[in-house]
Chains A and B, each alone.
Chain A
Amino acid sequence: MIINASGGGAELNFKVVGGTAQPTTPQENTIWVNTSTKINKWTFSATAPSAPAEGDVWIRTGTASTVEFEALKKNSISVCPVAAQQYVSGAWVDKTAKSYIDGGWRDWILYIYKDGTLSQISGFTMTGGSMTNSSGVLTFTSTSSTTEYMLARSTQKIDFTGFKTLSVNFLTGSKVFRASSLTGSGYAGFGITTATPSVNTSGYPRVTNYAAWKIFAHTENNNAQPTGTLTLDVSAVNSEGYLCFLGDPYDGESSSWKAVLKMNLIKLE
C-alpha cells in the first residue's frame, strides 16, 4: 500500500514528524522520524519511491509490525511500518523511527520471541528434539534417537520483507556436544529457509533451501556454545521464510550426542 502526501489531512489518523528530539506531547499514532533533515514528503510503500527528492522519507511497509496502525479515521486501512529511510545527498539513509501508540512510544522492532511470548508464529516443528517455553526461556533439546540432527522449524513462515537484521540472544547452557563425555564439538546454526528444509550431515551449511544462514559452530574441536546475541543479515531477504535452528554432532555420531539451545529473545529490526 502506498500513501503519498506532503502534509497532514483531516481524514488521516496519524502524523509523521521529524526532528532530533522526541516529541513531548504527541498524539496517538504519531510517527517520529529521528532526523536533522527537513522532511518534505513521506511515502508508505513496500518498495522505494521512484524519483525521490532531498528530504523525502520512505516508510517501508510489511505484512507485520509491532506498530501497526489504522491510517484513516473513518475507513479501515491498516498499515504495518517496518523501517524508515530518508533521501539525503542522493541516497537513502536509514533513520530511527518510533510510534506513539496507546500512550507510549514504541520501537519499530518485530519480536518473534520475547518475555516468554511467541509472535508471528505459534511454535516450532521439531525433528529429533523437543521445545519448551518456560520462565521466559525458549529451549530446544535433542532427543535420544537415530536422527543425527535436531531441527526446529517455525510452524509458520515469517515475512522478512523490509527487515535488516535477525537477532537471537542465546543463554548460558546452550551447547551442542558430541561423544559420550558430552564435551567437545558439534555443529549449530540458525537462519531462514524458503521451503521446508532437508538436512544432510555432511558439508555446510547442512541444511537445504536456505536464504540466509548463520553458523556458530562447525569444526570438530570447536565447542558449539553460543552465548549472547548472534546476528544474521536479512536485508536482502524480501520474502517469506521459515525460521530454523539446527544442531548436529558434526561427524554423524548418532548415539551419544546432545544439543541444547536456550534463548530468551528473537527479533527482527
Chain B
Amino acid sequence: MRTIYLDSEYKCHVNSDGTMRAVETDAFDGQCDTLIEGYRFVPDGEVWIRSDGAVFEGIMMAPWKDYNVLDEAQREYEQEQLADMRQALEEMGVYTNG
C-alpha cells in the first residue's frame, strides 16, 4: 500500500505539487515511480472523460504513456533491485551465481 497523488486528469504522481489529491492504493505495489507516473488511476465512484468523449468509470488503472516505455522502465528497475540484492548478499558472505 502506498500513497499516490492524482491530478485533475487522474494521472498519478509520486509527489504532490500541492494541488493534487492523495489516494492510498496497493494497485502499484512493486512498481517503479516511472511506471506509476505513466498511469491514470480512477477511483471507485468517479468518472474520467477522455478527450474524444469516451467515458470511463472507476476503478480503472490504465496507462496514458506508451505502455512499452513504462514496461521497459519497470524491467530496468527490477534488474537494479536484483543487482542490489545480490550485492547485499555477497557482502554478507552469501555467494550467488548468475
A sample of 16 more A-B contacts (CB under 8 A), given A213-B62, A231-B54, A233-B50, is A94-B52, A164-B50, A191-B61, A194-B71, A203-B1, A204-B27, A205-B27, A211-B63, A212-B60, A212-B61, A215-B60, A233-B40, A235-B62, A236-B63, A236-B66, A239-B68
Q: Identify which of B1, B62, B68 contacts A232 (C-beta below 8 A).
A: B62
The answer to whether B46 has its CB under 8 Å from any CB of chain A is no
Q: Is there contact, CB below 8 Å, between A218 and B26?
A: no
Cα-based distance from A205 to B64 in the complex (angstroms): 18
Whether A211 touches B67, Cβ cut-off 8 Å, given contacts A165-B54, A230-B57, A232-B60, is: yes
Distance, CA A94 to CA B50, complexed state (A): 12
Judge whether B17 is part of the interface by a CB distance below 8 angstroms: no
Can you offer 8 A-B residue contacts whose CB atoms are under 8 A?
Answer: A203-B29, A205-B27, A212-B63, A218-B44, A231-B56, A233-B48, A234-B62, A236-B67
A238 is an interface residue with CB less than 8 A from chain B: yes
Q: How far is the CA of A234 from the CA of B50 in the complex (A)?
A: 11
A: number of interface residues (CB 8 Å): 27
* Total number of residue pairs linking A and B with CB closer than 8 Å: 75
Shortest Cβ distance from B54 into A: residue: A165
A-contact bits for B27-50, CB 8 A (1 contact / 0 none):
101000000001010001000101
Does A17 reach chain B (CB closer than 8 Å)? no
Chain B residues near A94: list those with CB within 8 A: 52
B: which residues have CB within 8 A of A? 1, 25-27, 29, 38, 40, 44, 48, 50, 52, 54-68, 71
Contact status of A204 and B59, CB under 8 A, knowing A165-B54, A194-B71: yes
> Could you tell me if B59 and A233 are in contact, using CB atoms closer than 8 angstroms?
no
Whether B61 contacts A210 by the Cβ 8 Å rule is: yes
In the bound complex, CA of A165 to CA of B64 (Å): 13
Q: In A219-255, which residues have CB < 8 Å from any B CB? A: 219, 230-239
Q: Which residues of A contact B59 (CB under 8 A)?
A: 204, 214-216, 218
B67 touches A239 (CB 8 A): yes
Query: Contact between A212 and B52 (Cβ–Cβ < 8 Å)?
Result: no
Residue contact A212 to B44, C-beta cutoff 8 Å: no
CA distance A230 to B57 in the complex (A): 8
Partner of A237, one of B27, B48, B56, B67: B67
Identify the interface centre among B52, B59, B60: most chain A CB within 10 Å of its CB: B60
Indicate whether A204 sits within 8 Å of B56 (C-beta atoms), given known contacts A194-B71, A212-B61, A236-B64: no
What residues of chain A lie closer than 8 Å to B57, measured between beta carbons? 230-231
Q: In whole angstroms, what is the CA distance A86 to B55 when docked?
A: 22
User: CB distance B66 to A238 under 8 Å?
Assistant: yes
A203-B68 CB under 8 A given contacts A212-B62, A212-B63: no
